[in-house]
Amino acid sequence: MSQAATLSIASPPRAARRSNLGDMIFAGACYAAGALVLLLLGGIIVELFLGGLPAFRAFGLPFLWSTEWDPVTEVFGAGVSIYGTIVTAVLAILFAVPVAFGVAFFLTELAPPWMRRPVGTAVELLAAVPSIIYGMWGFFLIAPLMAQHVQPALIDSLGELPGIGVLFQGPPFGTGILTAALILAIMILPFIAATMRDVFEQVPPVFKESAYGLGCTTWEVMKGVVLPYTRISVAGGIMLGLGRALGETMAVTFVIGNANRISTTLFGPGNTIASVVALEFGESETDSLKLSALLALGFILFVLSFIVLAASRYLLRSRLKA
């Protein structure tokens, strides 16, 4: 064998070496991007915790359930904000999920082909509307509508019921927790509906055709075939909407009333973590206890979001094992 042939066998071609170098660079860039995300996330967590540490030291664990927020005496508590954040987000999910499912069901199973694209595009465009526009729309249109028609009707019909009636009592001001939850539901509706529509369309047609061949109705196919096949992605879309609802700021600030108290009625005013931070962050002085309390609220909001994500992952993993 000649020396040239021996060298060509011993050393890889230049194209292969360039390909290996490109793969190494691409892999390194991907690892760097992943590490950058972790560093940014860790930096946010550490900054919020360190910034809120003086408040945690000053008020201790009762800071989480204390309902007092008095900048004059520098006494702060997160109870009202945590309550408002959780209640509005949960109500928004309860309002939005059934409507989002109906929209996705209509677009994938019932709507004629010529209608699916414009309706789907309209749903997606709702997600592009800025949150402050939702807040202004809610304050000038939805709040008066709630005060004049919806809340009085709920007071007359549900306010007298034992047990749940206390949730629908009080003066119909229009603003309040219920109105904020309704605005949040409208805001997260396009995210959940678009996710459901996309995953419903990914179901193999043979599965649905087999069910129809057995005599199933459209609803039975949806309940017995489509939903079990897409349950993980549907739950992911719902959790995406819940995450948006937990952290929403301006839209809630316009319509929730911004009162630092816990109301037994859904018509009463309140606040959320995001709305308190948005309203009072500009008025807080550097290195003040109030600024530390606001940063502590931000850390608590991050923890709430993490708990929601962890719970959803646990539930999905449990369903997969079952």
pLDDT at 199: 86
Please state, in angstroms and rounded to a whole number, the distance separating the CA atoms of residues 224 and 214. 12
Mean pLDDT of 106-115: 86
What is the identity of the amino acid at 23? D
- Helices 227-247 and 289-321: crossing angle in degrees, nearest 10, is 180
E strand residue ranges, the chain: 69-70, 75-76
Residue 12 or residue 38, greater confidence: 38
Distances (CA, A) of 299 to 38, 124, 175, 271: 17, 31, 27, 17
The whole-chain average pLDDT of the chain stands at 84
Q: Is the pLDDT of residue 259 over 90?
A: no
Q: Is the alpha carbon torsion for 245, 248, 253, 258 positive or negative?
A: positive
Question: Residue 211 has what pLDDT?
Answer: 86
Name the residue with higher pLDDT: 21 or 242. Answer: 242
Six-digit token pair at 224? 């017995």
Give the residue among 254, 309, 299 at the shortest CA–CA distance from 50. 299
Supply the pLDDT for residue 90.
92
How would you write 200-256 as a 3-class SS string? HHCCCHHHHHHHHHCCCCHHHHHHHHHHHHHHHHHHHHHHHHHHHHHHCCHHHHHHC
242 vs 310: CA distance, rounded Å: 13
* Torsion of the alpha carbons at 196, 201, 203 and 209, rounded to the nearest 10: 130
Residue whose token pair is 């000053």: 58
Q: What share of the chain in percent tops pLDDT 90?
A: 21
DSSP state of 289: H
Residue 90's φ and ψ, nearest 5 degrees, are -65, -45
Average pLDDT over residues 151-161: 86
pLDDT at 7: 47
Other Cβ atoms closer than 10 A to 39 = 10
Identify whether the C-beta of residue 177 lies closer than 8 Å to the C-beta of residue 88.
yes
Beta strand 75-76 pairing with 69-70? antiparallel
The answer to whether residue 85 scores a pLDDT higher than 70 is yes
Which whole-number Å values give the CA distances from 123 to 65, 188, 190, 298, in the listed order?
38, 11, 5, 31
d(CA 229, CA 64): 40
pTM over 0.75: yes
pLDDT of 164 reads 83
Radius of gyration of the chain (CA): 26
What pLDDT was estimated at residue 10? 47
Identify the pLDDT of residue 181: 93
Q: What is the pLDDT of residue 19?
A: 63
Rounded distance, CA 17 to CA 24, Å? 11
Higher-confidence residue of 232 and 151: namely 151
